[in-house]
Chain A
Amino acid sequence: MSAPILEIKQVYKLFGGLAANSDVSFQMEEGMILGLIGPNGAGKTTLFNCITGYYPPTRGEVLFQGKRLNGLEPDQVCKLGMARTWQKVRPLAKMTVLDNVMVGALCRTGSLKVARDIALEQLHVVKLEHKNGFLAGGLPIGERKKLEVARVLATKPTLLLLDEVMGGLNPAESDEIIQLILDLKKRGLTQMVIEHDMKAIMRISDRIVVLNSGAKLAEGLPQEIVSNKDVITAYLGDALE
């Protein structure tokens, strides 16, 4: 087995006395899709922020391709090849769709021409190229999510972290995104996906990590997770006596 692309070792993130993440450890192998689930407030987005440099972990380390990420800034993490999307989408509202994706592409090139080509390619991948000239602020939510994905793809990541890209989408749009994630996997892109839609997450994930109250509750194959008693309890509460 090859060396893991991402290793999370005993990561703690404390906000004052509140442990948003405590003792979280897991690994990702290249090419896999890892689903990260858990009830609201379980610390999924906090963990994303710890991995991508927005918060320094209080304790523990994050290794990406063997390199320690603790203390790096988000832009440096992005340069290393790890890119994330935002649960609450962050379009650059007064710039066009194409310009938004070009900003991502400029991470790897200084030439606007090259960046434009990369951007057009990624907009084609997410099927948004017909909206090139529109202002990003005017897009409906489904297309904003796609834009978000196209923009991080343009930074040429080797590991992609998707934070609820299907949140707020209708079933048809969700299906499109699922297809997109699977297509990206076929191309060898490693992905970590936070999602609340259980059906979707079971379908796409190779492995699932469940967080609850900041700590890792379970890890395993999708079919193991659905039958895991602790997970069911965390989501639904104890059975009535």
Chain B
Amino acid sequence: MLRARKPARGLAALPLVLAVVATILLCLFPAVVSSPYTLHVMILIFLSVVQGESWNVLGGYTGQYSVGHAAYFGMGAYVTIMLLQFKGIAPWYGMWAAVAAAIVLGLVIGSITFRLRGPYFVLASIAVAEIIRLVTLNWKEVTNGAEGILLSGVPPLKIGETVITDWSSKVPFYYAGLALAVLTILVNYAVQHSKLGYYFQAIREDQDAAHSLGIPLARYKNIALAISAFFTAWSGAFYGLYVGFVDPSTVQTVEVSVSIVLICIIGGIGTILGPVVGSLVLVPLAEALRSNLIADGLFALGLDPTSRTGLFLKENLAHAHVLIYGILVVVVILFMPDGVLGYVKAVTRKRATRTEAA
């Protein structure tokens, strides 16, 4: 029989220490590493962590799969950037409008589809994300359509008269991303260790049972969706400011929605650490594929770059990231249905019982 972990009373000591140490190391990281590319990859990892953690609240804990989180991500990015570029509203204010818009959007979808059982929410989430993308694409007077919006700059962040940062390097974005990731994880942790978390999981496990135990299903699903939309929109706003450019094809496509889901599937659905692990796997992998590191690695191992295979790999591997993603997903679903994190846990548990038995 499966014996579960002891019910956690607050954070257990060791993981807490590890988490604090990791955060401190991450805070010191830019002082040691100054390569803009490394910082860029770290920022993408933070962004991915925020996306994964927010999807996890709804998909992982509450069991309501959304394949349309690009809607909230795009809403966060677009509203923030539009307010900044067209109205001159500083992003730390505009962001809240973006978050509010995303939550309203989520609650509209949720209050219609959560009353139904079955695949309606998934379908509606995909459909609404597409609608939002098409509206953005065609409502040119407001959104610039397919051209997208190029940001002319992020205003310096001031407290009083002191300029804290003028966003001229990657370092401030690094810290902003880190803060966002840490905050998202903390909020997620707090939610999961409260009444909300218990109710979310009960809904995931058995809706009828949850209903009979006094849980208003639609209300709690909507709460989960609102929390999820909140942080996803935040990550969108952060992305828009960091890249300085938004257009429908980068922030609102199905690919964005799917990649958010993948972070959780690969890392491990329904755990706090899962999206972190997923991000640590996926972001470096995507970067390695994009910059052809894999082909370079094979050449370094002795593959002749001028041979036919070498030329073929050099030519095509960089464009094959979707293919490799697909293979990765199949492998994970077949061999690690609980994600990388679940697999590692299962292996260590097996080892532990084996050593106990020996």
Contacts and interface: CB of A to CB of B under 8 A. Distances in A.
B118 to A, nearest CB: 17
Contact of A95 (B195, B205, B214, B215): B205
B213 A103 contact: yes
A104 B213 CA distance: 5
Contact of B213 (A54, A94, A99, A152): A152
Contact of B209 (A86, A135, A138): A86
Given A92-B201, A134-B1, A138-B2, A73 B211 contact: yes
A98 B3 CA distance: 12
A155 B194 contact: no
Interface in A128-154: 132-135, 137-139, 151-152
A90 interface: yes
Given A133-B6, A134-B1, A134-B2, A75 B216 contact: yes
Contacts of B213: 75, 78, 83, 103-104, 107, 151-152, 155
Nearest to B197: A112
B8 to A, nearest CB: 11
A96 B205 contact: no
B356 interface: no
Contact of B205 (A92, A152, A155): A92
Contact of A90 (B2, B7, B195, B206): B206
B208 interface: yes
B231 interface: no
Give the bracket for the number of chain A residues in contact with chain B: 35 or more
A60 B205 CA distance: 33
Interface in B161-219: 193-195, 198-199, 201-202, 205-206, 208-217
B4 interface: yes
A98 B5 CA distance: 12
A74 interface: yes
A75 B214 contact: yes
Interface string B208-251: 11111111110000000000000000000000000000000000
Interface string B9-27: 0000000000000000000
Interface string B250-276: 000000000000000000001000000
B1 A99 contact: no
A70 interface: no
Interface residues of B, number: 27
A84 to B, nearest CB: 6
B219 to A, nearest CB: 9
B195 A106 contact: yes
A133 B5 CA distance: 7
Contacts of A106: 195, 198-199, 214
Nearest to B212: A74
A93 interface: yes
A110 interface: yes
Given A112-B195, A133-B3, A134-B1, A52 B206 contact: no
Contacts of B3: 133-135
B7 A103 contact: no
Interface in A145-178: 151-152, 155
B330 to A, nearest CB: 24
B211 A99 contact: no
A86 B208 contact: yes
Interface in A186-234: none
A132 B4 CA distance: 9
B2 A137 contact: yes
B351 to A, nearest CB: 20
Contacts of A134: 1-4
A98 B7 CA distance: 8
B209 A90 contact: yes
21 contacts: A73-B211, A74-B211, A74-B212, A75-B212, A75-B213, A75-B215, A75-B217, A79-B214, A91-B206, A92-B201, A94-B270, A102-B198, A103-B201, A103-B202, A107-B213, A107-B215, A116-B7, A133-B4, A133-B5, A135-B2, A138-B2
Interface of A: 52, 54, 73-76, 78-79, 83-84, 86, 90-96, 98-99, 102-104, 106-107, 110, 112, 115-116, 132-135, 137-139, 151-152, 155
Given A78-B212, A138-B1, 17 more contacts: A54-B208, A74-B208, A74-B212, A75-B211, A76-B216, A78-B213, A83-B213, A86-B209, A91-B209, A92-B205, A95-B201, A103-B199, A103-B201, A103-B210, A134-B1, A155-B213, A155-B214
The 5 closest A-B pairs by CB, nearest first: A107-B214, A92-B205, A78-B214, A90-B209, A138-B1
